[in-house]
Amino acid sequence: MIAIIDYGMGNLHSVSKAVERLGCEAVVTADPKAILSADAAILPGVGAFGDAMSLMRDMKLDAVVKEYAAGGKPLLGICLGMQLLFTESEEHGRHEGLNLLPGRVERFRGDFKVPHMGWNRLSFCRKSPLFDGLEEGYVYFVHSYHAKPERADDLLAATDYHQPVTAIVGRDNVFGMQFHPEKSGELGMRLLGNFLKLSVSAAQTSAHKG
């Protein structure tokens, strides 16, 4: 079972439908027990960083997500959900994030259109199970802020929008995608599918331990 974490700010329906199209059971939930028992968890998000963290803290879901990540099962942040994985954001003031990945979320600065909206090509930066069997291609972005990982090894894929832009991050069992894989055609769905394959391994490991 794949838990899609509902803290009130996400494309829950589109993500759950994409997971189901890929052959997995999806449950949209804010229940800590359901989240912690899931084979994988997805943290979606649309909106402002500070509002999202405030809602998560009010619902005690920040602690649940950290506990989930510490348990070693696959966790994926999408769009704002990816940004929440980092230490802090400057969106409408300084706001602390989940700090699962060290780094900072900053607004695009320059004489170009913001938000960054449209199809941009991914460049894979290092090997990852997310990229198994895949070639670089185009995915769909909509964002005004971008993440700057503190550790170079956490950057798995980048794109270019007047500057290098973090597109996919990951360390151990924690991953993030700045774009919307469920809205990014075949490549996006295959990236999401590779993430879901990690949940199968996690479930088998858990069953073996049991």
Instruction: Let me know if 24 is a catalytic residue.
Output: no
Strand 40-43 relative to strand 2-5, pairing:
parallel
Active site (annotated) includes residue 125: no
State the pairing for strand pair 75-78/40-43.
Answer: parallel
> Cα–Cα distance between 118 and 138 in angstroms, integer?
10
Give the span between the Cα atoms of 84 and 104, in whole angstroms: 10
Peptide bond connecting 32 to the previous residue in cis, omega within 30 degrees of 0:
no
What percentage of the chain exceeds 90 in pLDDT?
91
What 3-state DSSP class applies to 51? helix
pLDDT (mean) for 149-167: 97
The pLDDT of residue 203 is 59
What are the structure tokens assigned to 3, written together? 């838990």
20 counts as catalytic: no
Local confidence band at 183 (pLDDT 50, 70, 90 cut-offs): very high
Q: Read off the pTM.
A: 0.95
Across all residues in the chain, what is the average pLDDT?
Answer: 94
Of the candidates 13, 67, 79, 91, the residue annotated as catalytic is: 79
Contact 98, 84 (CB under 8 A): yes
List 116, 143, 146, 180, catalytic entry = 180
pLDDT tens sequence across 39-83:
999 999 999 999 999 999 999 999 999 999 999 999 999 999 999
pLDDT tens string 163-175: 999 999 999 999 9
CA distance 42 to 89: 20
Superfamily of domain 2-209: Class I glutamine amidotransferase (GATase) domain (3.40.50.880)
Domain chopping of the chain, boundaries: 2-209
